Structures are given as structure tokens and as C-alpha cells.
A and B are shown apart, each in its own frame.
Chain A
């Protein structure tokens, strides 16, 4: 008997709405496909024709130059026609709802819609009303699955593995979709996850998501292999959630001294855009252990892998 050849990876979902619900096998499959996309993106000829003839709409209800351009480049490298739509203020002010926008876009017969929205659950709501595939590019404080995938890919390439690593996610976990997606994904792949923040920035019941919670960087970073910083929004800095930028940076800002609590070969990550001098010091952000630029590169690769995986479910006639 010959051994059966291992079957090609097939992503069994029509949409990517979150990391929750993905199996470790599916995550590994996407990460493996992303590795190929990294190689492709480093060639002179970067284009593939997987999505040729397909229409991808990047629908951003919330501005994000970085994520939007990452998805745009990913789609274009796969040969899709990419259209960017920033709904932002204008339509919403006219009273158009998410579902109106969904119906309008659906009538233009796109193949993939990439959506970011400021409300948790809005992307899933929209996905119910369209015929094409939907990728969640961030919904409120809920999920940001491609960010978690790109973070995992970055860690895996730097450390060779994810299982057994200790990852400290530091900062505004309360408002962070990046933190939620990462907690779920890293747990699925066998990492030990910690969250580190003042209690005002930790959501109720966060331990139930599979993390240990720490209120000091000394304790939370002790022996960590990966230090993942989160952005603190300007409006939350002065008195509402923390007393001041000065105090926040003194206690929770990642500088060389605090990074020294972590493992000697610990790496530093940040989903961007960074607030230098608030949650992270430039000496660390630009230092030798920073993977922040790698994350941006991996972002394009992961999004290519995701678009390609979803495209297998698109109708062919």
C-alpha cells in the first residue's frame, strides 16, 4: 500500500470573520500559504493570476491607511481589481445603514469585500446580506483576524515555533480587537498568553479567554519570549482610563529597562500605528529586537493567503 498523499489545504469557510471558530489546522494552513506569499512578494515578478477577473472592494467605515493599503496590495498581487471605498463620515451622516451599504455594493457583484467597521459584529451583520466572501478587517473591539495571523507568522518566522512560547500582550486590551484575536489564535496554537495592563484597561472576565492577567510590566514580562504592545488611543490617555501619558509611560511604556524583564532573546511587536513615548520608546521600537517592520511585510503575505483561500469558494461561471 502506498501512503496517501497529504490532501491539499482547503479553507472550509466562505468568510473570514474572526479567528474564533478556526481550527489549529486551518490556521496552520493559512500560515503555510502565507509563507509562499512571502517568497512571491520578494521576487521581482510579484504577480499571480489567482484572482484575475475578480473584484475586491475594500469597504472601510473607519479610516485605516495601513490596513487598507495592505489589503489593496495583496489583492493586486493576486490579479484582482481592487476598489477602495471609504464610507467614513459622508454616507453614515446621510443615514445610510451598514445593510443599505451592503445591499448597494452587493448589486455591483463584487467577489470579495474587505470590511472594517467601528462596531463589534457589524462585519458579520454585513456578511449575512451579501453573496460574496467577506473578510473582517477589524470590527469594533471584537476581532481583527488578519492581524492575528500576521502576528503569528511573524513570531513563527522569528522563533521557529509558537507552541510553548510565552507571549505578553501589553496595554489597552479593553478596547483592542487585536488583543482578542491574538489571544484566541495564540491559545489555539499552544502559546501561553499573558495580558499586562492597569485594570482600567482590562475587560471583565478576560482570564476566561485563556490568559493570565498582570498589573505590572515586571511581573507580566518576566521571562516572556514575545512582547506585543498595543496602541493607546489619545482620548483615553488623560484621566479617563489612565491619569496621564507620563504615568502610563512610566509604568506601562516599553523601554529598554522594562524589556530587560523579558527573556534575553525576546522580540518586540506592535500592530501600529505607534505612539512613541506613550506605549513604546523609540529605542525599543527601532531596536534590534523589534519585529515591527516585519509585521508590515507579513501583513501583505497573510492577506494574500486569506484572499486566495477564500477565492477557492467563488463561483467560476
Chain B
């Protein structure tokens, strides 16, 4: 190829780099898929495609740690192609996929399959997370070394925790030798059995069995102790309540390699949103009280919460149109995570840089992925977003194959105008 590498110059942009703290108006040059230069006054010799951002923010593309993409086995709910479209429209340039598929991602061949499917059908970066135990059964560890070599970026048993502490300890001990990141759903499966929503007054009024917060704190406490014991890098995928923040804060203070994440739904919604049995608000772990939500927002503002995720979990409408206790858990979120997250910025609770760091810089660092920064030489995975533009969400216009969003009809502020992956524009708002 003798062709000169593609050059794109983004001008009139509010350059927001959560990694360096940069937040100023300027231009950014992309060349050959990477960030070549940026600054207040940027001149280019020779031809470059010019993109006028008209004052909109230009930031690193989002990295979503743990989205369910339907492949393999649940292609009626989502495919890598549709998830990728949704991600692009939401400013997400990297999806880390959940391993609880059918079959689960517990063998190197399946990691390889996902990588090839992503190469052929996705417009954004897709990195597989692999199972922590074979068949997600919680008994025997997977081939952590081979899975890493195949391309897995983290390990998780999806929406369940490993019930047996000894299995958890051995797996973490083994994972430590590879520097692998172990991501866990912290909820005691026996304690939440049959539970449909947060335990408390609202569940009691609705006559629904509850899931107590203690179920989360219990497993989280155990896991952070095991992280200290084993030295393994441990990430609590979804924490939802004030108690969990205390546990994580203590572990971090003690120097354990512990991090945590929260979903955009838990940061912006609470149990009251369930209303009269609205199943699109049925999540696992469940939406908690407003006090817990406030605590999470504070935890994000303080930097105690490392990662904000979409919690993307597409569900077929039929499995949601059931009595509440019998409906499936989960909500989609790839396309709405940034706009919904900006609610916290507009309300003055979380600075923009902090939100973007939790959605890009921090997950990149945890996963050892490039991206999450506007540094020269970083991949040109970018999002152009008008953080102030108001709009009303219409679920039918979402690109995900499933439409189970808790934000249908919601008034949002913040519109993704353009998404760029490796220098190529993969989405523009029309």
C-alpha cells in the first residue's frame, strides 16, 4: 500500500481527556488510526478530512466492561453486529463481552470464535471476557492461561458468584500468577433465591419476595478477604448499595487489588421506579433505595467506584411480558449509558471528567487495553458528544435487537454526534 494514511482533523472541539485532565477547546489530528497530535492551534500540511465539532466534546470512546451480546446461543436477543451498532450509537468504542453465553466462554476455541465473529461483523472493538469456572458451574477453574493467550481480557462467572469459598480461593490464587483480572457478581445465591426486587417496604407492598442487600455485602466481604489472601486482582462488577461501598473503601485502604463497578441503571434509578410491576426495571442485582443510589453517585464522584458499565442485557420482550417475579432480569444500556450518565453531570453530582474516566480510562487500565485517553499515539477511538443537547428516548429507535430499556420516554441531555473507531467514523447522528 503506497496510499498515504487517512488523516482526519477534528476542529472546534472541546477536548476532554479524562486520563490527563485536559479540558480545553482545540483540534485533534488522527492519522493512521491513532491520535497524531492535539492542541489549541493545530495546522496540518497536506490534505486531511476536516470535521467541525462545533464546540461539542471530543473524548475517548467508552469501554463497556461486561455487555451481553447474545453470541453464541442467544442470537434472538442480540448479535455482535446489533450490539456493535448500539454501542457505536452510544459512543462506546470497545465492548467487553460477558461469558455467560450458550455455550459459555470457557474454552479457548470459543474466545477465538468470538474474536472472529467480531472481526467479521462488528464496527467497534470487541474483547471477550472468559468464564472463571468450567460451564459457569462454580466448581472447577477454567484454563486461565490458555484463555488469556486466546485473547480473553478478564474472567467472570457472569451474573452469579462462586458459592464455594475454597473454589474461589484456589481460582484466585491461580489467576494471580497470570495477573488475570477476576470480575465477580457479588450476591449470595441462596440468600436471594426467589427474590424479585430489593427487599424492603416496596417489595412488601407489592407482595414480592425480596433480595436483601446483605446478600451482596456477604459475598463482597468474602471476596475482598480472598483478594487480600491471594493477591489476585479482584473487580466487583456491580455494586449497588452503601454497605458495599464501605467494604470496597476498606479493602482499597488496606492496599488490596480491589476495584468495583456500578451500572448506569443503579446510578440513575431506584426501586420506586418499579412502580406497578414494571418488568423493564427488574434487574440483577435489583434497583435499591434512593439512599443507596445517592451513596453510589457519591462513590463515583469520590473515585471509589472505578468503573461505570451499561449493564447491557438484552431480553426478548416475551420474557419481560410476564408477572414480575417470573420475568427475566436485565436491561439494555449500550446506547444510553453516556446520555443517562450525563444526568449525574448535569445535576452537578459528578464532574464530566470523572464520569468519562469511569467509562473509559479506568476500564482500559484494569483490562490492560489501549484507549481511554487522548494521548498522542493512543488509538483514535473517540466520541463526539454534545453534552447539553436534550432529547427524548424512543425505545423503538434503539439499535439493539431487544428493546428492554428502562429509559423509554425518558428526557435525556447529551447526544452522541459521532463515534470513531481506529480513526474510522462508525456512527454519525443524522
Query: Residues on A close to B: CB < 8 A?
Result: 20, 97-99, 117, 119-122, 124-125, 139-143, 177, 180, 203-206, 208-209
**Which one of B200, B212, B321, B323 lies within 8 Å of A119 (CB-CB)?**
B323
Bound-state Cα–Cα, A141 to B203, Å: 10
Bound-state Cα–Cα, A205 to B207, Å: 12
B201 & A142 in contact (Cβ 8 Å cutoff): no
User: A209 with B205: in contact, given A97-B322, A204-B199, A204-B210 (CB under 8 Å)?
Assistant: yes
**Residues of chain B lying within 8 A (CB to CB) of residue A20:** 205
B207 & A177 in contact (Cβ 8 Å cutoff): yes
A120 & B323 in contact (Cβ 8 Å cutoff): yes
Provide 18 A-B residue pairs closer than 8 Å at the C-beta atoms, listed in order of the A residue: A97-B318, A98-B323, A119-B322, A119-B325, A119-B326, A120-B208, A120-B324, A121-B207, A121-B323, A125-B277, A125-B323, A140-B207, A141-B208, A204-B200, A204-B201, A204-B204, A205-B200, A205-B202
Q: Give min CB distance, B429 to chain A, whole Å.
A: 34
Q: Give min CB distance, A122 to chain B, whole Å.
A: 4
Bound-state Cα–Cα, A125 to B321, Å: 8
Q: Give min CB distance, A21 to chain B, whole Å.
A: 10
User: A121 with B206: in contact, given A97-B318, A98-B323, A140-B325 (CB under 8 Å)?
Assistant: yes
Grouping DSSP codes into helix (H, G, I), strand (E, B) and loop, the A interface class, with mixed when no group exceeds half, is: mixed
Bound-state Cα–Cα, A124 to B206, Å: 12
B204 & A209 in contact (Cβ 8 Å cutoff): yes
**Residues of chain B lying within 8 A (CB to CB) of residue A203:** 203-204, 210
Bound-state Cα–Cα, A99 to B323, Å: 10
Of B200, B323, B325, B326, chain A has the most CB atoms within 10 Å of the CB of B323
**Nearest-CB residue, chain B, relative to A129:** B321
> Beta-carbon contacts of B318-337 to A below 8 Å, as 1s and 0s?
10011111100000000000
Bound-state Cα–Cα, A251 to B322, Å: 39
Bound-state Cα–Cα, A97 to B204, Å: 25
**Nearest-CB residue, chain A, relative to B277:** A121
**Residues of chain B lying within 8 A (CB to CB) of residue A122:** 323
Bound-state Cα–Cα, A20 to B276, Å: 12
**Nearest-CB residue, chain B, relative to A123:** B323
- Other A-B pairs, 16, CB within 8 Å; known A97-B318, A120-B208, A141-B209: A98-B323, A119-B324, A119-B326, A120-B277, A120-B324, A121-B207, A121-B324, A121-B325, A122-B323, A124-B277, A140-B323, A142-B206, A177-B207, A180-B204, A205-B200, A206-B204
**Residues of chain B lying within 8 A (CB to CB) of residue A139:** 207, 323
Query: Residues on B close to A: CB < 8 A?
Result: 199-210, 212, 276-277, 318, 321-326
Bound-state Cα–Cα, A278 to B135, Å: 45
Q: Give min CB distance, B327 to chain A, whole Å.
A: 9
Bound-state Cα–Cα, A120 to B204, Å: 11
Bound-state Cα–Cα, A269 to B128, Å: 60
**Nearest-CB residue, chain B, relative to A117:** B323
**Residues of chain A lying within 8 A (CB to CB) of residue B276:** 121, 124
Q: Give min CB distance, B223 to chain A, whole Å.
A: 25
**Which one of A97, A98, A120, A208 lies within 8 Å of B207 (CB-CB)?**
A120
Bound-state Cα–Cα, A117 to B212, Å: 25
B322 & A142 in contact (Cβ 8 Å cutoff): no
Bound-state Cα–Cα, A191 to B207, Å: 22
Bound-state Cα–Cα, A121 to B322, Å: 9
Of A117, A180, A203, A209, chain B has the most CB atoms within 10 Å of the CB of A203
Bound-state Cα–Cα, A233 to B203, Å: 21
Bound-state Cα–Cα, A121 to B208, Å: 9
**Residues of chain B lying within 8 A (CB to CB) of residue A206:** 204
Bound-state Cα–Cα, A203 to B209, Å: 9
B323 & A205 in contact (Cβ 8 Å cutoff): no
B207 & A142 in contact (Cβ 8 Å cutoff): yes
Bound-state Cα–Cα, A20 to B205, Å: 9
**Residues of chain B lying within 8 A (CB to CB) of residue A180:** 204-205, 207
**Residues of chain A lying within 8 A (CB to CB) of residue B205:** 20, 180, 209
**Residues of chain A lying within 8 A (CB to CB) of residue B203:** 203-205
B206 & A120 in contact (Cβ 8 Å cutoff): yes
Bound-state Cα–Cα, A140 to B196, Å: 13
Bound-state Cα–Cα, A139 to B324, Å: 11
**Residues of chain B lying within 8 A (CB to CB) of residue A120:** 206-208, 277, 323-325
**Residues of chain A lying within 8 A (CB to CB) of residue B209:** 141
Bound-state Cα–Cα, A267 to B263, Å: 52
**Residues of chain B lying within 8 A (CB to CB) of residue A209:** 201, 204-205
Q: Give min CB distance, A167 to chain B, whole Å.
A: 18
Q: Give min CB distance, A23 to chain B, whole Å.
A: 18
Q: Give min CB distance, A53 to chain B, whole Å.
A: 32
Bound-state Cα–Cα, A84 to B13, Å: 68
Q: Give min CB distance, B264 to chain A, whole Å.
A: 25
B204 & A205 in contact (Cβ 8 Å cutoff): yes
User: A205 with B201: in contact, given A121-B277, A180-B207 (CB under 8 Å)?
Assistant: yes
